[in-house]
């Protein structure tokens, strides 16, 4: 091999090494996005003052456990199977969570949009009994303040100012989940609502149907119906149901301007991307 040929081989080896190093770096970066962290930009004011619009946040996925699922199924809006790796830090009340919004297309059934993310504060955990009294978030047997109290008090003051003059359900934005006269809940007076955890067995009544029908339909992938207090799952009589997933109640800190669990219900565990610990690190 001549001198020119040797130089050519050296250049080729250098280029191959650069290509290989670049490929490894890209692969490591992609793996880190799947298993370790992701960054998100806050689009609205619903989490102020903790998070402002255009703030960028880092979500550490390893704490709650990284999710694995088929992107083909997710983009194709097909039934999704999610596998979550073990995490090392349980979700706690007041953690800020980033999650896929569970109602991207319609309000009567849970769906999945891999491109649609929300950031809200977790205010109730699986197994909690959550309620709102005069705007203030409460969990039974928990004395820790939940969420951003100044805005909650603002909701309470507004509700007291109009209560008796105008029914709260007639004020836009005050009516709350499950939007049924059986409960007549509002964002100022809500619950108590039990937050199911995996393994919980629930006796099915009309009230429980109204509160949990979307969750049961999502878990079973079957139609859930009610007639005169009798519940059917996939056309079969159901007197009770055992949940297979954990659920969370999430709310924005600016609860006067946040579409959260008060309006659309409980967040399934499979939809959680992870915790946002370090906030406002970029502008």
pLDDT in tens, 106-149: 889 999 998 999 999 999 999 999 999 999 999 999 999 999 99
Q: What is d(CA 63, CA 183) in angstroms, rounded to the nearest whole number?
A: 36
Q: What is the mean pLDDT of residues 177-192?
A: 93
If you average pLDDT over residues 239-250, what whole number do you get?
98
pLDDT class of 159 with cuts at 50, 70, 90 = confident
> What are the boundaries of each domain within the chain?
28-200+243-276, 201-242
Q: What is the mean pLDDT of residues 176-201?
A: 95
Mean pLDDT of the chain: 87
Residue 281: Cβ-neighbour burial (10 angstroms; 0-12, 13-18, 19+): exposed
Q: How many CB atoms lie within 10 A of CB 152?
A: 24
**Contact (CB, 8 A) for 118 and 98:** yes
* CATH homologous superfamily for the domain 28-200+243-276: Umud Fragment, subunit A (2.10.109.10)
Please give the pLDDT value at position 8: 67
The pLDDT of residue 172 is 59
């Amino acid at each position: 091999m001549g001198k020119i040929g040797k130089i050519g081989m050296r250049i080729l080896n250098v280029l191959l090494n650069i290509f290989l190093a670049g490929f490894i770096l890209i692969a490591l970066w992609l793996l880190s996005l799947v298993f370790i962290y992701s960054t998100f930009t806050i689009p609205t004011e619903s989490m102020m003052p903790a998070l402002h619009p255009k703030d960028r946040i880092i979500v550490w996925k390893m704490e709650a456990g990284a999710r694995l699922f088929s992107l083909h199924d997710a983009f194709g809006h097909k039934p999704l199977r999610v596998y979550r790796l073990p995490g090392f830090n349980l979700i706690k009340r007041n953690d800020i969570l980033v999650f896929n919004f569970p109602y991207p297309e319609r309000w009567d059934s849970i769906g999945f949009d891999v491109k649609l993310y929300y950031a809200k504060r977790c205010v109730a955990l699986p197994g909690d009994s959550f309620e709102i009294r005069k705007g203030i978030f409460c969990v039974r047997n928990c004395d820790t303040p939940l969420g951003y109290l100044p805005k909650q008090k603002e909701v309470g003051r507004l509700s007291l100012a109009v209560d008796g003059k105008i029914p709260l359900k007639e004020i836009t934005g005050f009516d709350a989940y499950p939007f049924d006269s059986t409960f007549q809940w509002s964002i100022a007076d809500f619950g108590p609502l039990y937050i199911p955890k995996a393994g919980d067995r629930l006796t099915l009544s009309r009230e429980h149907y109204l509160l949990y029908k979307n969750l049961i339909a999502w878990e079973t992938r079957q139609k859930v119906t009610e007639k005169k207090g009798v519940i059917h799952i996939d056309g079969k009589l159901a007197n009770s149901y055992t949940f297979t997933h954990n659920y969370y109640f999430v709310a924005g800190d600016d609860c006067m301007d946040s579409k959260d669990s008060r309006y659309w219900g409980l967040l399934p565990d499979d939809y959680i991307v992870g915790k946002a610990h370090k906030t406002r690190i970029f502008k």
